[in-house]
Amino acid sequence: MIESTTEPATERVLFEQTGDHGDIWFSDQINLFSNMTAGEFYFRIDAYVGGGFEDIAVDELRLSDGECNNTEIHNGNCSFEGNLCGWTHDPTAQFSWTLQSGETSTFDTGPTTGADNSFAYIFIESSLPQALCDRAGLMSPLILRPTTTSGAQCFSFFYHMHGIGIGSLLIWTIENTTASAKETLIWQQNGAQGNEWLIERINLWPTEDYYFRIDGYVGDSFQGDIAVDEITLLDGECTEATSATIPPSNTASLNLSLRTVQLFVLMIIAGLMASAFS
């Protein structure tokens, strides 16, 4: 968007997507009131050519008065059917999560459909140019702390970790405070977990408004796609919680460090074997 009331004109990026998102049309909605000042403005749509023969298309542009009718943005719930529901890519990560419809492009890794008979989901592409231990991060919208008497929230999601080179999947909460942000690891899974979607339900008792961050780490093979789908956050405790307590931060850091060491050892062994047979 380009605001013409300023001199020189102010340009703001309202939306950005990269990479292949499947053979399907997606929709997105953007509220402009928090992204602009009063006055006239223009839209500019930029598309950049990649390294192959793929095409990018846009259709059905509409500008209406009032806020967008997107109820999923308020609490982080997302089925990823067409958009990220207000979740955003972590700019400090090495690469980004990919919104995908149907199966992934790599043989014998990743799901063929979304969870619970849905179509779309997000996943990390572990093929080149990604490297061992590269991270993809996805940040939720701001989550308000619960106002219920119990002070509990139930966070649930589906995950898929199938392939011989699966790395790690971690989920953090980040408190929205004026001081330095407090990051807490609430869940972690490492390695292959079978060719199926699995559900996780976690009880949380937040005392501050906060964000979620979902981190996917590349493993030691291109067959290491990790997928996430059907994120839900509800007030109150989970009726069938699979993770009822938050792991201590020191244990979480130790587990992550050990996993990183294991991945590097596997990479070294693979390199030695390749040299021996060359």
Residues 68-91 have pLDDT tens digits of 654 333 478 999 988 898 899 999
Is 27 inside a domain boundary? no
**Domain enclosing residue 251, as ranges:** 70-276
Residue 263, domain member (yes or no) = yes
Q: Cβ neighbours of residue 204 under 8 Å, at least 6 residues apart?
A: 152, 153, 154, 155, 173, 186, 246
Q: What is the pLDDT of residue 73?
A: 36
Q: What is the pLDDT averaged over residues 116-128? A: 87
Quick check: 251 pLDDT over 70? no
Quickly state the pLDDT bin for 250 (edges 50, 70, 90): very low
Residue 12 lies in a domain: no
Cβ neighbourhood burial of 244 (10 Å; 0-12, 13-18, 19+): exposed
What's this model's pTM, rounded to 2 decimal places?
A: 0.63
Residues 159-185, mean pLDDT to the nearest whole number: 87
State what percent of residues in the chain have pLDDT above 90. Answer: 33
Domain of 243, CATH number, reads 2.60.120.200
Structure token digits, residue 11: 């340009």
14 within a domain of the structure (yes/no): no
Whole-number average pLDDT of the chain: 79
More confident residue, 257 or 187: 187
- Per-residue pLDDT of 180-221, as tens digits, reads 678 999 999 999 999 999 999 999 999 888 999 999 999 998
Asked, for residue 46, whether it belongs to a domain, the answer is: no
Query: Per the domain annotation, does 92 fall within a domain?
Result: yes
| Number of domains forming the structure of the chain | 1
Tell whether 40 is covered by a domain: no
Q: Let me know if residue 47 belongs to a domain.
A: no
Average pLDDT on 49-66 reads 82
